[in-house]
C-alpha cells in the first residue's frame, strides 16, 4: 500500500483551502466556519454577547465540513472570518451582508464601527478573495457536486425545532432528494427546511456550481447535533456513501 499523501493547505485572512484529489466527485465548502475576525480587528466590547453564538458562525459546521471532505477525499474551501464581519453566503447587494442588528440589539461591529470605506475594505479583502478561492477550486477539479455545510439553531423565536437535518437545493432537486432519502433512515430530514435554497439562502455554493455547470446541495444540521463528535462520526460516512454511490 502506498503511503497517504498529505493534502496541501493554503490559508489567508479570507479563506482556508485544502487541496486533495482533483478527480474527486465532490468539493466541500463552508461559508460560516468560524467566528474569527481578521488580523488588525477585534470584537467590540458591546458585541461580547454575540461571541460563541450562531450569530457569529455556524456551530459544528467546520468539523462536519472537514470530516466530510476527508471521508470523500475531496477538496475543501472554508471562510476564515465571522459571518458578522461580512457574510460570504450573501450577494454584495444584500441588506444582511453586514448585519447591524441581532435579536433587536445593535451589532456594534457593523454600526458604530463601520463606514463606507470599511465596507469596501471587507468586500475587497475578504468577500471577493473567498469567492475567488471557491471559483478556482471548482475550476481546477472535476467534482460533479458542490456540498456546502451549515448548521441551524435548535430553538428559533421560542419554538423548538424537531428537524435534525435540512437538505437545501435550487435546481438540483433529484440530488437533494437522494441525499435526504439516505439521511432520513436515521435522522429527521426534510428538503428546503428550515430554510429554502429558493430564497437565496445557499447563495455561495449555488453561485459557483452554476458558473461551472456543476450540481449543488447544502446541508443544514441542527447545532446540538452538529457539535456532537458522536453524531459527526455517524453522519460523515452516510453522507460520503450517498454522494459517491
Q: What is the pLDDT of residues 168-183, one digit of tens each?
A: 999 999 999 999 999 9
Q: What is the pLDDT of residues 234-243, one digit of tens each?
A: 999 999 999 9
- Please, which residues bridge with residue 82 across strands? none
Assigned C-alpha cell, 12 = 489567508
Q: Where are the alpha helices (DSSP H) in 73-222?
A: 116-122, 128-139, 173-184, 203-212
Question: Can you tell me the mean pLDDT for 104-124?
Answer: 94
Say how many domains are in the chain: 1
Residue 7 lies in a domain: no
Assigned C-alpha cell, 215 = 450540481
Q: Where are the alpha helices (DSSP H) in the chain?
A: 61-72, 116-122, 128-139, 173-184, 203-212, 223-226, 229-244
Q: What does the mean pLDDT of the chain come to? A: 95
Residue 1 lies in a domain: no
**Is the predicted pLDDT of residue 3 greater than 70, yes or no?**
no
CATH assignment at residue 187:
3.40.630.40
Residue 3 lies in a domain: no
Assigned C-alpha cell, 163 = 428537524
Residue 5 lies in a domain: no
Q: Which domain holds residue 209?
A: 12-244
| Those residues with Cβ within 8 angstroms of residue 154's Cβ, 6 or more apart along the chain or in another chain | 160, 161, 222, 223, 224
Residue 2 lies in a domain: no
Q: What is the pLDDT of residues 130-166, one digit of tens each?
A: 999 999 999 999 999 999 999 999 998 788 999 999 9
Amino acid at each position: 500500500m502506498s503511503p497517504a499523501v498529505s493534502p496541501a493547505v493554503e490559508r489567508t485572512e479570507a479563506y482556508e483551502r485544502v487541496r486533495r484529489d482533483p478527480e474527486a466527485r465532490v468539493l466541500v465548502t463552508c461559508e460560516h466556519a468560524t467566528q474569527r475576525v481578521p488580523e488588525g480587528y477585534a470584537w467590540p466590547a458591546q458585541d461580547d454577547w454575540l461571541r460563541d453564538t450562531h450569530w457569529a458562525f455556524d456551530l459544528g459546521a467546520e468539523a462536519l465540513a472537514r470530516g466530510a471532505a476527508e471521508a470523500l477525499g475531496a477538496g475543501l474551501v472554508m471562510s476564515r472570518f465571522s459571518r458578522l464581519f461580512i457574510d460570504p453566503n450573501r450577494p454584495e447587494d444584500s441588506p444582511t451582508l453586514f448585519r447591524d442588528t441581532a435579536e433587536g440589539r445593535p451589532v456594534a461591529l457593523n454600526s458604530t464601527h463601520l463606514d463606507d470605506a470599511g465596507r469596501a475594505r471587507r468586500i475587497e479583502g475578504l468577500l471577493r478573495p473567498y469567492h475567488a478561492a471557491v471559483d478556482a477550486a471548482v475550476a481546477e477539479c472535476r467534482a460533479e457536486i458542490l456540498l456546502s455545510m451549515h448548521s441551524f439553531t435548535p430553538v428559533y423565536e421560542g419554538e423548538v425545532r424537531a428537524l435534525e437535518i435540512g437538505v437545501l437545493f435550487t435546481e438540483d432537486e433529484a440530488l437533494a432528494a437522494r441525499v435526504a432519502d439516505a439521511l432520513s433512515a436515521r435522522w429527521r430530514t426534510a428538503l428546503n427546511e428550515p430554510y429554502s435554497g429558493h430564497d437565496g439562502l445557499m447563495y455561495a455554493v449555488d453561485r459557483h456550481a452554476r458558473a461551472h455547470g456543476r450540481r449543488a446541495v447544502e446541508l443544514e444540521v441542527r447545532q446540538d447535533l452538529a457539535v456532537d463528535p458522536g453524531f459527526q462520526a455517524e453522519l460523515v460516512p452516510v453522507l460520503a456513501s450517498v454522494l459517491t454511490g
